[in-house]
Chain A
């Protein structure tokens, strides 16, 4: 994964370094980002370990913003990445063979996507430091492992985005951003990530199931993403 990460960052950097020659500026701003997503503890994409969860997943994103005013931009965003479900939130599967049961913990790789419309507003009081706030609304999709689930099912719903960041102006129209966003997934049902059919789930040795089975299942969960982005304004040809 480290090699993949390096390639991803290098690609984004190559795009950013090409920008100074693209003059004059337009009203569109493009921000490719790379970051880490820490999913909500009840999402089944995190962990049930005590303390702060360190289970984080690499994510990449792209945001396109149109400047309505000098301090207000609106646009579209897409964010995505891959994660692995934690088996600690689901009943184990119970396999029965001749004379013996076997319990198995099953997880799966999933692809998560966030997308929607978003607005960014530069905080005026401390504009020199480049802080901004973001708010958006859209949807989220978690694409299940086709091989594991033997289907093309996905889990998804509405999402709200709230957060902010800092711009560090490099030169001209190029800036580096450090951004923290809360991707709030609505209509979330972690059981949709369970690969085991109800008939395959362990209801015999219930005490052996992981404790996360009994965790709350809020329908609105908070997924925090910390990312670094390269903000630039494409030149008008």
Chain B
């Protein structure tokens, strides 16, 4: 009994003890401050990257690569010669049609006689119906000028055979039998054809059908309208007989709901294909041809008198021929035109390389302009001059492309003649490097570059923006961009930021943290180089541009830290006012910004780089209010 009572008492006491609570949370205090004024860093205020332009007078053509896709930039979704009719008559003024003579109104027009079988005779487009200019129209179905669903093919000729000679027209799907270089490419480059290519029918694709009777401009209600035949090639579109060497061929082909053709350019079953690499749909054609006819009005395929390319050429296996887009070129392009096309290869004649947001470098170190053959060790420092700038204002001119800046300068425009350098090697990039003055080899720090050639496959522009980053002689080139974020604040006397996912600095650069004031450019306090994260906070990340160990992870600085310990609160605050009775002192923050900036390692120490990567607002540290006596008067 006694023992039972004793245990009950003991267990009860134990239960009371086990359930006892107190407040287990303790606020951590440092230097008299419980709160930490938050400073969040973002890329929102990023800017001031070294940059500029590369301007050239012109590119000099050094080659042309026809293997480039659409090397002459002639591919179009719409048909070739897709334009407003230049005539004011005949009802097509405000709507587009295929009009080969061009936008300028001409009285007559002779189509280029290219490809085999050769064009025979002396046919010429003229205006017989009084439209005002040469009549050479292929009009889409549903064109408001006609107002009904039928494609219209309307041509007027003179220069034909004697009265009674019959002509028949049609749409044809030809394949190209190429001999030597593509005629189109030859014509555009030289204006001449070495060996003419032939137009042939694809195997199994010769199936003439359509209207051989006299042409008729009628609506779909008429029996004389052409009702296109599925699979026809050529699709014949009417005929007529010359009178005094002239003929008018004007035929409509139905594209209403019952037709295998549909109205409108690029419609689902339009007979005219896109003038690009899009594969042909069924019943699409790439040529309009007028032949002299046999007595039964069948085309004499050996006697085309007029031929117009309205779609891309096809290979004998039915694929679109690269660069084989319509229309047939009439003349060669100039070298200055060719060089700017996708197939064009050229180099700049002169270069003006402007670099902004630069900083003064330590004595013995200079900015240098080099031309480089990317991906190789071939490089040469160029001769020229450097016009040193403060913003856009010219300060002075240095008769060399190697230069340094003073604190009153922010950039330079380097000018040189590329021809001189190009005699040595096929340089393709201009590179602004930073290195020892007078060095004979390309320095490793290559923060800014620009293309100075016009390579095949790229557009050529007289003025392009330079790129900032690590050029690395053209191998493993990395463009620099602001990235990352940070958070932290001022805890007691210590500024601490946890920074994540910064990009690796450009080669030769490092990250430096600053306290600044947005409206007082003289207020600045360097917080030093970024550091490795805890517990390696004593490792400075000055060489993060070349480090290979953590916290570097590939192209990224996964984590870093800002750490600065002030001697007293006077480094952060200043007396704002002393007023009242008894006097009350208010204090204000010396700085309202914390920024992480990118700086050349060889910059003059203490230089505030203009290149902002991360930025965040900073407030008065809480501890300053309890240590007002330390604030700067």
Nearest-neighbour CB distance to chain A for B270, whole angstroms, equals: 61
B364 within 8 A of A: no
> Is A82 a contact of B18 with CB atoms below 8 Å?
yes
The residue on B at minimum CB distance from A103 is: B28
Is B104 an interface residue, CB under 8 A from the partner? no
Identify which of residues 1-51 in chain B touch chain A, using a CB-to-CB cut-off of 8 Å. Answer: 1-3, 5-10, 13-14, 16-18, 20-22, 24-28, 30, 34-38
Find out whether the CB atom of A60 lies under 8 angstroms from the CB atom of B28: no
Q: Which residue of chain A has the shortest Cβ distance to B622 in the bound complex?
A: A100
Contacts of B533 in A (CB 8 A): 206
How many whole Å from B66's CB to the nearest CB in chain A? 59
B491 at the interface (CB under 8 A from A): yes
Once the chains bind, are A4 and B38 in contact (CB under 8 Å)?
no
CA distance A17 to B2 in the complex (A): 8
Question: Taking the complex as formed, is A158 at the interface, i.e. its CB lies under 8 A from any CB of chain B?
Answer: no
Contacts of A4 in B (CB 8 A): 13-14, 16-17
User: Quick check: A207 and B13 within 8 Å, CB to CB?
Assistant: no
* CB closest chain-B residue, reference A14: B6
B10 and A8 within 8 A (CB) = yes
Question: What is the minimal beta-carbon distance from B347 to any residue of chain A, in angstroms?
Answer: 53
- Please state if B3 and A109 are interface contacts (CB–CB under 8 Å): no
Known contacts A4-B13, A14-B3; A105/B26 CB under 8 A? yes
Task: Decide: A10 and B9 in contact? CB cutoff 8 A.
Answer: yes
- Cβ of A189 within 8 Å of any chain B Cβ, yes or no, is no
* Contact indicator B27/A102 (Cβ below 8 Å): yes
The answer to whether A18 touches B2 (Cβ under 8 A) is yes
Minimum CB distance partner of A106 in chain B? B25
Q: Could you give, for residues 608-633 of chain B, a 1 whenever the CB lies within 8 Å of some chain A CB and a 0 otherwise?
A: 00000000000100100000000000
B422 at interface (Cβ–Cβ under 8 A)? no
CB distance from A36 to the nearest CB of B (A): 14
Q: Judge whether A204 and B9 touch: CB under 8 Å.
A: no
A220–B496 alpha-carbon span in the complex (Å): 37
Considering only residues 57-87 of chain A, those with a C-beta below 8 Å from chain B are 58, 60, 80-82, 84-85, 87
The residue from B9, B21, B22 contacting A7, defined by CB atoms under 8 A apart: B9
A214→B533 CA distance, assembly (Å): 15
Of A1, A96, A104, A109, the contact of B28 (CB 8 Å cutoff) = A104
B26 touching A100 by the CB < 8 A rule? no
Whether A205 lies near B491 (C-beta < 8 A) is yes
CB distance from A209 to the nearest CB of B (A): 8
> C-beta contact mask, A14-34 vs B, less than 8 Å → 1, else 0?
110111000000000000100
Q: Which of B24, B38, B496, B534 contacts A84 (CB 8 A)?
A: B24
Q: How far is the CA of A147 from the CA of B3 in the complex (A)?
A: 35
Which B residue sits closest to A112, measured CB to CB? B18
Given contacts A18-B3, A105-B25, contact A82 B20 (CB under 8 A): yes
> Is A102 a contact partner of B34 (Cβ separation < 8 A)?
yes
Contact partners of B17 in chain A: CB under 8 A: 1, 4, 58, 82
Interchain CA distance A216-B537 in the complex, whole Å: 21
Instruction: Assess whether B537 is in contact with A207, with CB atoms less than 8 Å apart.
Output: yes
Residues of the A chain whose Cβ atoms lie less than 8 Å from the Cβ of B498: 203-206
| Chain B nearest Cβ from A44, distance in angstroms | 13
Q: Which of A196-230 contact B (CB under 8 A)?
A: 203-208, 214
When C-beta atoms are compared, the residue in chain B nearest to A99 turns out to be: B38
Contact A11 B25 (CB under 8 A): no
Q: Does B63 contact A (CB under 8 A)?
A: no
Distance from B139 Cβ to chain A, minimum over Cβ atoms (Å): 69
Q: Check A101 against B27 for contact (C-beta < 8 Å).
A: no
The verdict on A107 contacting chain B, using a C-beta distance below 8 Å, is: yes
A-B contact pairs, 13 of them (CB 8 A): A1-B17, A10-B9, A14-B2, A18-B1, A81-B18, A82-B17, A100-B622, A104-B26, A105-B26, A107-B25, A204-B488, A206-B535, A207-B534
| Nearest 4 Cβ contacts at the A-B interface | A11-B10, A14-B6, A206-B534, A18-B2
Q: B: which residues have CB within 8 A of A?
A: 1-3, 5-10, 13-14, 16-18, 20-22, 24-28, 30, 34-38, 487-489, 491, 496, 498, 533-535, 537, 563, 619, 622
Known: A8-B13, A18-B3, A100-B37. 20 other contacts (CB 8 A): A4-B14, A7-B9, A7-B10, A10-B6, A11-B7, A12-B6, A14-B3, A15-B10, A32-B7, A99-B37, A102-B34, A109-B20, A109-B22, A111-B18, A148-B24, A204-B488, A204-B498, A205-B36, A207-B537, A208-B28
Which A residues lie at the B interface, using CB under 8 A? 1, 4, 7-8, 10-15, 17-19, 32, 58, 60, 80-82, 84-85, 87, 92, 96, 99-109, 111, 145, 147-148, 203-208, 214
